[in-house]
Amino acid sequence: MSPLKPSSFSPSIESISVNSLVSRGVRCLLIDIEGTVVPRETWKISRSAFRWLGEAKKSGIKICLISNSVRVKRVEELSSELDLPFVPLAFKPLPFSFIRAMKMLGGSRSDTAVIGDQLFMDILGGNLLGLHTIMVPSITPEKKLGRRFMRWLEGFFFTPER
């Protein structure tokens, strides 16, 4: 499998079936924050995303938020609001933050999945460790030129089948 190809694609985090994660043996989830769970600008979680995370936790799946954001205080506040552990300043796609998050949850490569919106950060990082990776589209359009360029580049490596 290509390191730039997610294991699967979902139109949103809320449309990922928690039951299907459990049935495929996922016990631990490493979830990107910005663009995946909350919009980059507001960091306000939607009710549907909040409910989905609650459903995943009730099913027994352990969750760790993992973020490259330099806004460590915001990451800490969101993780507190959601009652979830977090790894800030993750430097994804480097593997050490994914390994740290798995250790925090007591997970292994075989029972951990990654959910994220960035091919070159979340998906590549998870794939380098052989984790199950699920790509979702960003919940907000990119405004910064550098991010728009990265999204354009992603199109050369992955186009979701819809």
Determine what percent of the chain is predicted with pLDDT higher than 70. Answer: 98
Torsion of CA 65, 68, 70, 73, to 10 degrees: 0
Dihedral of CA atoms 140, 143, 145, 147 in degrees, nearest 10, equals -20
Distance CA 32, CA 42 (A): 15
Residue whose token pair is 């290509």: 2
Q: What is the pTM of this model?
A: 0.92
- As to burial, measured by CB atoms within 10 angstroms (0-12 exposed, 13-18 middle, 19+ buried), residue 150 is middle
Give the model confidence (pLDDT) of 114-149 as tens digits.
Answer: 999 999 999 999 999 999 999 999 998 777 887 778
Residue 162's pLDDT band (cuts 50, 70, 90): very low
Domains along the chain? 8-157 (3.40.50.1000)
Segment 11-51, tens digit of pLDDT: 999 999 999 999 999 999 999 999 999 998 888 999 999 99
